[in-house]
Structure 1
Amino acid sequence: MRPYLVFLLLSMMTITVFSQELNKDQLLQLSFDSLDRIENEVEYGTMYSKKVFDAHILKAKYAKDTGQLAEAYRKRVWGEDFASAIKYVDSAIGISTGVHEKRFPSKVHYTKGGLLYEADRPDDAVREFVTAYEFAKKANDYEQIIDCFNAIAIIKGEYGHQERAISLLRLSLDYLNKYEGKIDNYDLTKLITLDNIARCYLQIKKIDSSRHYAQQGLDLSSQMKDLDTYRSLSALYAQINYYDGNYIKSRDTLLKYVKGTGDLSQADRLFYLGMIEGEIGNSAKKRRYFKRIDSLLDRNGYPLMDNVKEIFQFLIKDAISKDEEPMVKNYADRLVYYDSILTRAEKEIRSILWTEFDLPEQEASKKVLSDEIQKKEGTIRNYILLSVLLISLLALYFIKYSRTQKKLREVMDQDVEPLKSHPKKDDIAQMNIDPELVQSTLEALDKWETNLGYLDQKTSQNSLASDLNTNTTYLSKIINTYKGQTFSNYIKDLRVTYAINHLKENPQIIDTHSTIQIAEMFGFSSLDVFARAIKSKIGVTPAVYFRKLKKSNL
């Protein structure tokens, strides 16, 4: 773990020494730490960035430093096309057995998994995340183990197999409970896992289990003062109430939280509001809600979402009953489109589903999962068959599907700001710390923020306390009181705020980097944490934000 003092010195050196591009000989004279600093700041995909990475590779070869060479190959993927990136990451993997850093093999396979996922090869991505898990387990890197579990669960759940996703998420909770003291971002990691598992259980209609984990997530998000996640989980709890038949209570909560969210989250909540109105006999309101969903989906290029076929089947029947022929054709096109998506996805699901992930903890549940999966596949096939039958009955109204994508609205009108806090006198007094020590620590913390120290992935509460010449207890109290957040949330907020504003000013980064590479640039080691941080801060996923930046840059 690189000390903060070295990081600060490198930041200062960057201002004086690295203000201009260096030639090959100058780069080779730098230390590995200095090269690392430049690599973290250089614009990827440029001739100069490639020169820097190549100098790192050459210097490592001269020094016969296998660890540095492997890390240089791993970083060389940044700004490269997929084929070149895979060659470099495979080169890093090829020599990783000679690297003394025990965590590196897991890190490099996790990187490859992210590249494959970005290239729409989810089955291969799962295999790499499994390999990353195996290396992380050998290194006793518990946080990386949970990151791998979450990455695999996300892919499994994304392709419709929530049972296997749940199995992995339950393992994540087991590891969190067992190794709490060894996981830096414990609260945030647990909150993410609780949110994921509650949603997976809801999707397979296991309401009691979904309620159990949603309530735990609500309690933890309240304790962490994570208002965005609390609102999201409150909306999820309202959906649980719908399945329990508590329609009015569910409706009141959903109406409270339906606004101020991303388009897809809003569409999901509008679906349940529409279903509630249908249950209480108000078909006209149900139709209005479902039409709003169609508008939201249109604005986002018609992505796949839960319950989408049920929405358009209702709209088709409603339009037929009103002799609205143009609308019947439009909604039928939507249904055909989503049928084709599900049909194509079924092949990918089958491949992902049977990717081996043999853990002793899972062996006992394999047969049960297999039976449930086969049953679910049969249900999907029957559902598709019924949909095709419905479409054939409406053949006179169908026309070939022609989809156009509208420009997305701008995400923000102005730069986002880090969270602010104004401590009360009583809170300051309760810290019981010398005011001069508090003031000096805050000044050092401000200087650290100005120098972008939080972008270093290796930053932890222990290392920062040491660099600021204080202890973790004092640092935790000061951050909680003056920043209004826990340490992990404070670091996450600084990183995501800087990422959002920096990408807005430099949208070309999006064209030359995958999401995992962008996450690493801003200090995130987990795709899931980065995505949730973006979603929590501005209400949209990274993919939606990136598309908006590209459109606004045209």
Structure 2
Amino acid sequence: MTKKLLFIFCTICVQYFLSQELYSDYYKLRKKYEDLEENDQKAFSYLQLYISKAKKEKNYEKLVQGYKDAVFYTPLDEHKLKYTDSMIWAANLSKDKDLMIVAHMDKGVIYYYNYKKYQLALNEYLEAYEYSKNTTNEYLKHQNLYHIGVVKSYLGYYDEAADLFSKCLLYYKEKSKSDIHPNLIYNNKKGYLNSLHQLIICYRHLGKYKEMDAAVEKGLSEAGDDKDYIQEKGYFILSKGISEYRKKKYEKALSDLYLSLPSIRKSRDFARLSVNYFFIGKSYLGMNDAQKSVVYFRKIDSIFNKHQFILPELRENYEILINYSKKNKDQAKQLYYTGQLLKADSIMSRDFSYLSPKIHKDYDTKTLLEEKNKLQKMNYLVTVIVILLIIWAIGLIMLFAKRQKKAKEIKQQYILLEEKFVKNHAAEISSAIVEEKRMHLHEGKVEELLRKLKKFETKKGFIQKGLTLNRLAQQLGTNSSYLSQVINEHKGGNFNKYLSQLRINYITNLLFEDKKYLKYNIETLAKECGIASRQNFSDLFYEINGIRPTDFIKKRMQEMEGNT
């Protein structure tokens, strides 16, 4: 009997030490790369071994961790997205609900942080929320609350978002001060600082400047000079610069805003970078230095063109650029920035119409219903609370309806603004030089062609049907090669782009100036400006103006009816 017990004991010990050695192998591999900075490709020489080992042993918990590390260390956004898909795959194989929460949240973070695709991010957060209902992991629950709060803040529900961030702050602060592993302390401290930064954004938009300034000082104190929290410190310095701008301390504002730029650029957070540029531009504007300010407002336009995303608070950026172009009598830029404003409005409107109902239906309403089911098991007093919650939900729906109505009214006003900027002005084509390969043309020949093109534009020769480069060259008494080069070098693009801009700008001005054109169908409008295809006309109108012609006409007619 003693020998048998001894054998069992030895077997257990061997299994224990084998398991420890197995863990040790993963631990040793991670130790070789875990101190590298984010987006450092060198980690993959060890990461590939870590992932291969986890796959071979079907250790799905470690496999999820390996893919999570890959998301952190790959420098390419498309690869980050690919590895989050792999995380979800491994988490599903594990059948571990907590791992599924982590995987879906991480994918949502990539959609939000790296792409600013709020719609796709929200879908992942709501998926994680479904799994989090039965988890006992409070850290994961609060992570998901934080991300949903970010979406609410983007939509303008700052009070609701602030409540979520305040809950996260309390949890993360308590955990970061507790006696736990240093890695867990680091994660909770990160959660605390990020929640504080998001709360500062809510305070700013709610006009709670006293609370905002106190939170900024708190954030700077908590982040300190610790290199692990450089990015978070950059956000707090940015917030401080914005606060200085609000107080009209423009030189101090610029000092802080420039100080925060390196860490925000390094983080690749293009949304916050745009905010930084915006308040640098506004500070220069406050100092009556319009030329310097416009440099930074144009940087925001470059970011918008690259990512097709802009925060609602930066809409004013285009209003400033439109006014600046108008003041400098640059009609081409004026029209361009008007088109950009229309496009930005279209994107923000699309996001709002998708996100707002979904977050109320799939998160707020579900949360209330779950709470109701729990409360129904309690006494009469709790039943009263349920009724109050239902009333609150109805209030939210009414608030949402009111916000939607207001959003529509605001959207209609931009047409009126555009009318002030472009009415009675013919659009001109930018003179940017875009061709790298050039033929040497005699300066006199170029000037002659430009005069002929000016006459061609003035006499509206561009509305001819079937107009080609060769045909125009014959009409102007030159050859197509010379004409193509002059158009490329002096008219901002190739012949097709030049012709399309002339035609669309022409018909846009007609729609503004003469209401009879609003009654024409799309085919007639297309023929009026020389475009044969209805679809081609619609696509070109959208490309240049940022809105479909049918939508433009509808809104223009609604606005005119409203003014009568």
TM-score by structure 2 length?
Answer: 0.51
Contact 1:329 1:397 in 2 (8 A): no
Is residue 412 of structure 2 the alignment partner of residue 382 of structure 1? no
Match of 1:184 in 2: 185
Larger radius of gyration: 2
- For 1:240, which of 243, 250, 254 is the aligned residue? 243
For residues 19-47 of structure 1, give each alpha carbon's deviation from its aligned partner in whole angstroms, at most 9, with x where no partner exists.
xxxxxxxxxxxxxxxxxx99962598xxx
1:107 lines up with 2:86 in the alignment: no
* Residues 73, 92 of structure 1: 8 Å contact kept: no
Where does 1:308-457 land on structure 2 (aligned, <5 Å)?
308-354=314-360, 355-357=362-364, 358=367, 376-393=403-420, 394=422
Q: Which moved more, 1:178-187 or 1:141-150?
A: 178-187
Cα distance between partner residues in 2 of 1:69 and 1:259:
38
Q: Deviations over 1:283-333 (max 9, x none)?
A: 4443343234334544x3443235332111121122123221221122122
Residue among 282, 287, 310 paired with 1:275? 282
Q: One-letter code of the match for 1:221?
A: A
Q: CA separation in 1, counterparts of 2:26 and 2:157?
A: 47
Q: Which residue of 1 aligns with 2:550?
A: none
Partner of 1:253: 256
Distance 1:69 1:291, change over 3 A: closer
- The corresponding residue for 1:210 is 212
**How far apart, CA to CA, are the structure 2 residues paired with 1:178 and 1:345?**
35
Report the counterpart of residue 309 of structure 2 in structure 1. Answer: 303
What is the rounded CA distance, in whole Å, between the counterparts of 2:88 and 2:278 in structure 1?
45
Q: Is the 8 A contact 1:106 1:131 kept in 2?
A: no
Between the aligned partners of 1:332 and 1:297, the Cα distance in structure 2 is: 14
Q: Quick check: 2:67–2:87 contact (8 Å CA) kept in 1?
A: no
Out of 168, 178, 183, which is 2:164 matched to? 168
What is the Cα deviation at residue 335 of structure 1?
A: 1.1
What's the CA shift string for 1:396-450, capped at 9, x where partnerless? 66799xxxxxxxxxxxxxxxxxxxxxxxxxxxxxxxxxxxxxxxxxxxxxxxxxx
Q: 1:145: which partner in 2?
A: 141
The alpha carbon displacement at 1:69 in A equals 7.6
Aligned-pair CA distance for 1:191: 1.5
Alignment gaps of 5+ in structure 2: 1-15, 31-43, 71-78, 112-118, 372-384, 430-564
Cα RMSD of the aligned pairs, angstroms, is 4.6
1:289 has 2:292 as partner? no
CA contact (8 A) 2:104 2:125 kept: no
Letter in 1 for 2:301: D
Q: Does structure 2 conserve the Cα–Cα contact (< 8 Å) formed by 1:154 and 1:165? A: yes
Residues 129 and 240 of structure 1: is their aligned pair in 2 closer, same or farther, counting only changes over 3 Å?
A: farther
Does the C-alpha gap of structure 1 residues 122 and 73 become closer, same or farther in structure 2, counting only changes over 3 Å? closer
1: CA distance, partners of 2:249 / 2:398: 32
Shift of 1:345: 0.8
Aligned 8 A contact 1:89 1:112 in 2: no
Q: State the Cα distance separating 1:169 from its structure 2 match.
A: 1.1
Is the CA contact (8 Å cut-off) linking 2:237 and 2:259 kept in structure 1?
no
Q: Which range is displaced more, 158-167 or 75-84?
A: 75-84
CA–CA distance in 2 between the matches of 1:273 and 1:88? 44
Aligned in 2, Cα 1:322/1:350: closer, same or farther, shift over 3 Å? same
Contact 1:309 1:338 in 2 (8 A): yes
Count of matched residue positions in the alignment of Structure 1 and Structure 2: 350
**Whole-Å separation in 1 of the counterparts to 2:131 and 2:226:** 30
SS of the residue 2:414 aligns to:
helix
User: Cα distance, 1:170 vs. partner?
Assistant: 0.9
**Cα distance change, pair 229–88 in 1 and its aligned pair in 2 (3 A):** closer
Change (3 A) 1:326 1:76: closer
- DSSP-derived class of the 2:363 partner: coil
Tell me if the contact between 1:319 and 1:325 (Cα under 8 Å) persists in the aligned partners.
Answer: yes
What is the identity, as a one-letter code, of the residue corresponding to 1:121?
Answer: L
Larger RCO (alpha carbons 8 Å, 6+ apart): 1
Which structure features the higher share of helix residues? 2
**Identical counterparts, % of pairs:** 13
